[in-house]
Amino acid sequence: MKIGIFGGGAVGLLFAGYLGRLFDVTLIVRRESQVRSLLKDGITIHKESTTITTKVRAVQRMEANHELDLVIVAVKEYDLLSLHEVLVDLGPELPLLFVQNGIRHVEWMKSLPHHNLIAGSVEHGAMKENDVTIHHLGEAVTNIALIRGNWGVVEEIVSRSLDSFPFSIQHDFEKMLLTKLFVNVSINPLTALTRVANGKLVENPHFSQLQRDLFRELLLLFPQMEGVISFNKVVDICRNTYQNKSSMLKDLDAQRRTEIESILGVLLEKANNEHHFVPTMNVLYRLVKGIEREGLGG
């Protein structure tokens, strides 16, 4: 089976590193220097006391005539629009799996002509060291759910990767994505602002209280999630990814654009439209946006 993966960040490398041991994987990245490094050294994954290295194909652009059985889109949400034409040119028959944070991209995904669309929610903790090396800090699963169409070749991937890189099939993509959103909102902005690893949030009572405040505000916006996800689930994920630095913290450290719009910005729009009072979300959003603006040079 031939799999194309867009994105050379932590998630793209993690997927390529594990799936590349079972399937023919091509990683599509932006920079020629990363292509050269991947072709030369492969992908190295450090997990606890073990290290694995996987050889993969790497290119800067995917041609429409390149034969693939599945494409996994692992770029940040704000980079999706730049892939629109490329994905359309690959043809509507090609299944697409999207693994972005947040929910802002859902309507855009639905606008694509592809017959088989799948949403993914990654629970793994991964930290990118360089263009070819990542640290797998929190081993978990990737939840997947159909947006439309059928599973097709994905069933083979789920079956063959069960022991090394498990997937869990969910039946409601909206609840699945909202569950991940609850986790992202409860962790990413706080770690970005406090500059601590995930596990420290639940150890520090002041940070933990802010997490509880965020969780209550989320339930105001999505009351249907009551009973679907509990605050204890957030605590468990913080502990399971204890040493992991959130992607938002790493983005601020590197003075890169964050995913604050797709994680909190979209929720503030919803709160405003529905007249909900979400003060904690609003303060965290403004602080992250302000720090991001300073890092990007105003």
* Active site residue ranges: 180
Spell out the residues 6+ positions from residue 290 whose beta carbon is closer than 8 angstroms to its own. none
Contact yes or no for 161/138 (Cβ under 8 A): no
Contact yes or no for 199/242 (Cβ under 8 A): yes
**DSSP 8-state class, residue 104:** T
Which amino acid makes up residue 194? T
Report how far residue 70's alpha carbon sits from residue 4's, in angstroms, rounded to the nearest whole number. 6
Report how far residue 190's alpha carbon sits from residue 184's, in angstroms, rounded to the nearest whole number. 10
Dihedral angle of Cα 255, 27, 111, 85, to the nearest 10 degrees: 90
> Smallest Cα–Cα separation from 92: which of 112, 77, 75?
112
> Smallest Cα–Cα separation from 54: which of 22, 8, 30, 29?
22
SS3 85: helix
DSSP, residue by residue, 148-166: ES--TTHHHHHHHTTTTS-
Residue 86 CB coordination number (10 Å): 16
